[in-house]
Amino acid sequence: MNNFIVNIAMTFITLFFVLQFVVDQTNHKHRVDFNNIVEASVQDARKEGYFTPEIIDDLKHDISQKLYISEDEIVIQVTTTPKYRTNAYNPSELIQYKISVPTKKIIAMASFFGIDESKNPNYSLSGEVSSERLADR
């Protein structure tokens, strides 16, 4: 009977490593997809001079579809007023963005080990880019 219990415990411990590999690969794919979606939206905003409501809506929709999360969970803080390209560096004319999404699972079998999954961190991208919108003359 002791051998049976030890074998069951070893099976769970060994299963953890296989499941953790799958969780890591899934998280990596989600981060890559998130980075690609945000980068495409940032380039669109750069051409427009700011994040238009259409760009923000497309960004939310694309992230929710690719990462399987609801649009309410996505936190977006972006420049929503037009910025213009100037001939000299002007930090006030930069388009700023910070976009965050929740990380659903970091540790496989977290409840088995007594780890609370509600404390998983958000994954964020932030930065600033220069506008390519020309001022009307």
- 3-state SS, one letter per residue, for the chain: CHHHHHHHHHHHHHHHHHHHHHHHHHHHHHHHHHHHHHHHHHHHHHHHCCCCHHHHHHHHHHHHHHHCCCHHHCEEEECCCCCCCCCCCCHHHEEEEEEEEECCCCCCCCCCCCCCHHHCCEEEEEEEEECCCCCCC
CA–CA gap between residue 133 and residue 131 (Å, rounded):
6
Quote the radius of gyration of the chain (alpha carbons, Å): 21
Q: What does the pLDDT look like over 7-29, one tens digit per residue?
A: 888 888 888 899 999 999 999 99
Once rounded to an integer, what is the mean pLDDT over residues 83-95?
88
Once rounded to an integer, what is the mean pLDDT over residues 16-43?
95
pLDDT band at 60; cut points 50, 70, 90:
very high
Q: What does the pLDDT look like over 106-135, one tens digit per residue?
A: 888 877 777 887 778 899 999 999 999 988
Q: What is the pLDDT of residue 90?
A: 85
Please report whether residue 137 resides in a domain.
no
Please report whether residue 77 resides in a domain.
yes
Q: What is the pTM of this model?
A: 0.86
Number of domains in the chain: 1
């977006």: which residue's tokens?
Answer: 76
Please report whether residue 115 resides in a domain.
yes
Once rounded to an integer, what is the mean pLDDT over residues 78-84?
94
Please report whether residue 135 resides in a domain.
no
Please report whether residue 7 resides in a domain.
yes
Please report whether residue 74 resides in a domain.
yes
* 137 has a pLDDT exceeding 60: no
The residue segments making up the domain with residue 78 are 2-130
Please report whether residue 33 resides in a domain.
yes
Please report whether residue 136 resides in a domain.
no
